[in-house]
Amino acid sequence: MNLSKKSKIILGLLIFVAISVVVVYQYSMRPPAKIETKKVDFTGTSDALLSKVKEDFSVWQDKVVVLTGSITNSDANGVTLSNQIYCQFRDTADVKSFQNNQEIKIKGRVIGYDDLLEELKLDQCIIQQ
């Protein structure tokens, strides 16, 4: 079977597009990195991080932090530290054991800061020992 030059070009383009689609799909559908293996960008108290975030939040977006603070509120998915840092836990079973005014140390990823409420949000939080 003899293919014309035009048919060879179309076949080559189709193969290239198919390979590109597979590569992009595999890259975009890979699981996120575990918080345990990520490098820590800040270690300290919740109040210290809040003061740094208020200066310039863009530096802290998507950074991993280890915080020590006092629980001021809790719900089914997470806890609030120092009345201004909401920590959403990966495993909600951990949340049930917390009490207000309890000191904890957590590791989490900064996902947002609400200027109006002055509230920092963390996700993928885990308890540190």
Q: pLDDT for 19-48, tens place per residue?
A: 999 999 998 888 877 888 889 999 999 999
Q: Which amino acid, residue 127?
A: I
Q: What is the pLDDT of residue 106?
A: 93
pLDDT at 73 over 80: yes
Q: Is the pLDDT assigned to residue 14 strictly greater than 90?
A: yes
| The pLDDT of residue 56 is above 60 | yes
Give CA separation, 95 vs 27, 45, 85, 123, in Å. 33, 20, 15, 13
Residue with tokens 């293919």: 3
Distance (Å, rounded) from C-alpha 106 to C-alpha 87? 9
Q: Look at residues 32, 61, 77, 71 and name the one whose alpha carbon lies nearest to residue 120.
A: 61
- Per-residue pLDDT tens over the stretch 79-118: 999 899 999 988 877 677 888 889 999 999 999 998 888 8
Structure tokens at 111: 């996902």
Q: Which residues contact 93 (CB under 8 A, 6 or more apart)?
A: none
Give me the pLDDT at residue 98, please.
84
The pLDDT assigned to 1 comes to: 57
Residue 54 · residue 60 · CB < 8 Å: no
